């Protein structure tokens, strides 16, 4: 556990926040800082064929230690952390033998992680939790996944009695801004299937995710002196508020769960003359997803018609699709992961992801890629935490998947 903790802290204290406004790969130069460290760590544990390409994708190979052919499998995690909350100057705190009570993250600023609000904390009484000091995110999404993959490969190298086929690992940039798989070279990677280590609660196993689109709404107004504005001023912010109010009030993230889709306003920037709204549109069902995009555009069209002018412009771009369509024909890859968890005494929590992973895009690029828990909770904010025991179990799951795959094809 100490080894996992030390490795994880080493990674989370390197700032790798990505930038949704920058089209470059990677979108931030600081992602290279962690990438170079990971290359060194992969070399140190004895991985082979380690590459870091011009776009900050890392790939490496653990050679087979058996004399018969089995499918080559892969494990993938992402380097970047979310732009939703700062990842600069992360100050980790370790809470051993968690007692189930409030955790004071920052006494000076009265920042408290409480099971009264985050009841999942009670699942981990008696365990070791890692948090921040409440002023940054932690970065378990997805540096927990990176830690687990490297630790599992190290364990397999140190324990050659565990038989396995060839294993590929990859670490991608810019997953948090939806580009993590855009330039991923599936052919170079060379795996028949893979698993992203990018889930949350221990036991999560997912092969369904949202269909996703991003929408930019631009409202154009007209500024004149407010004292002489009668019949002349057009306040784009007021039109924006009308647009927001016209969308279904209960179809937002905090009012939905399970397979329910939503519209999520995540950025608003406005002044009288121009206002921009940035939404994400999500639904697991493709037909409902397509209808959501139509309905979103209709809101703009209706308001434009009422105003007698096309003041609202809408741009919608698809981001990724539900991987279920690509994974269901090869469900044995989910079955192997489920079997691995059960053998380790972990109850599999098979459910749809209310989000997306690199695996959703990779599945459509020909690399079926379900998602496995990495252990963290409350991603993308100051209340993020990860139990060390969950990371340890994730390492064991990776090792067991490798072992089961070799046995099934022996």
Q: Which residues are catalytic?
A: 80, 175
Q: Write the DSSP symbol of residue 368.
A: -
149/105 Cα distance (integer angstroms): 28
153, 40 Cβ separation under 8 angstroms: no
346/166 Cα distance (integer angstroms): 25
Among residues 370, 280, 72, the alpha carbon closest in space to that of 192 is found at: 72
Q: Write the DSSP symbol of residue 383.
A: T
50, 115 Cβ separation under 8 angstroms: no
Instruction: State the pairing for strand pair 58-62/48-52.
Output: antiparallel
19/29 Cα distance (integer angstroms): 10
Q: How many whole angstroms from its chain centre is CA 106?
A: 26
150, 42 Cβ separation under 8 angstroms: yes
In this structure, what is the dihedral angle of CA atoms 282, 285, 290, 294, given to the nearest 10 degrees? -70
Residues 6+ apart with CB under 8 A from 301: none
204, 372 Cβ separation under 8 angstroms: yes
Q: Write the DSSP symbol of residue 328.
A: G
92/311 Cα distance (integer angstroms): 47
289, 281 Cβ separation under 8 angstroms: yes
> Residue 307 to residues 174, 220, 244: CA-CA distances in angstroms?
40, 12, 16
212/175 Cα distance (integer angstroms): 14
């998947």: which residue's tokens? 401
């Amino acid at each position: 556990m100490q080894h996992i903790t030390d490795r994880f802290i080493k990674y989370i204290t390197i700032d790798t926040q990505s930038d949704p406004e920058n089209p470059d790969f990677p979108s931030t130069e600081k992602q290279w800082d962690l990438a170079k460290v990971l290359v060194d760590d992969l070399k140190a544990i004895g991985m082979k064929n380690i590459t870091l390409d011009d776009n900050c994708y890392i790939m490496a190979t653990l050679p087979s230690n058996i004399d018969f052919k089995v499918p080559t499998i892969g494990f993938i995690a992402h380097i970047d952390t979310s732009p939703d909350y700062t990842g600069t100057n992360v100050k980790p705190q370790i809470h051993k033998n968690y007692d189930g009570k409030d955790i004071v993250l920052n006494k000076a600023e009265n920042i408290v992680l409480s099971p009264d609000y985050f009841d999942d904390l009670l699942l981990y009484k008696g365990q070791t939790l890692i948090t921040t000091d409440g002023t940054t995110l932690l970065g378990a999404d997805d540096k927990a996944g990176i830690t687990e993959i490297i630790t599992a490969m190290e364990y397999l190298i140190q324990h050659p009695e565990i038989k396995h086929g060839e294993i590929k690992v990859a670490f991608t940039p810019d997953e948090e801004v939806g580009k993590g798989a855009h330039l991923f070279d599936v052919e170079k990677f060379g795996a028949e299937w893979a698993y992203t280590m990018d889930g949350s609660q221990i036991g999560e196993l997912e092969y369904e995710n949202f269909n996703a689109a991003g929408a930019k709404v631009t409202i154009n107004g007209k500024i004149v002196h407010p004292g002489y504005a009668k019949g002349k001023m057009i306040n784009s912010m007021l039109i924006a508020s009308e647009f927001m109010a016209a969308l279904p009030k209960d179809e937002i993230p905090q009012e939905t769960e399970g397979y329910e889709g939503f519209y999520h306003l995540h950025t608003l920037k406005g002044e009288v003359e121009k206002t921009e709204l940035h939404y994400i549109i999500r639904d697991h069902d493709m037909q409902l997803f397509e209808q959501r995009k139509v309905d979103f555009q209709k809101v703009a069209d209706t308001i434009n018609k009422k105003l007698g002018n096309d003041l609202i412009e809408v741009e919608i771009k698809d981001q990724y699709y539900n991987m279920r369509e690509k994974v269901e024909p090869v469900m044995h890859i989910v079955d192997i992961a489920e079997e691995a968890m059960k053998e380790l005494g972990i109850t599999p929590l098979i459910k749809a992801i209310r989000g997306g992973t690199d695996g959703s895009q990779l599945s459509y690029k020909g690399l079926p890629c379900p998602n496995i828990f990495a252990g963290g909770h409350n991603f993308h904010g100051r209340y993020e935490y990860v139990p060390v025991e969950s990371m340890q179990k994730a390492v064991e799951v990776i090792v067991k998947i490798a072992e089961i795959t070799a046995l099934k094809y022996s």
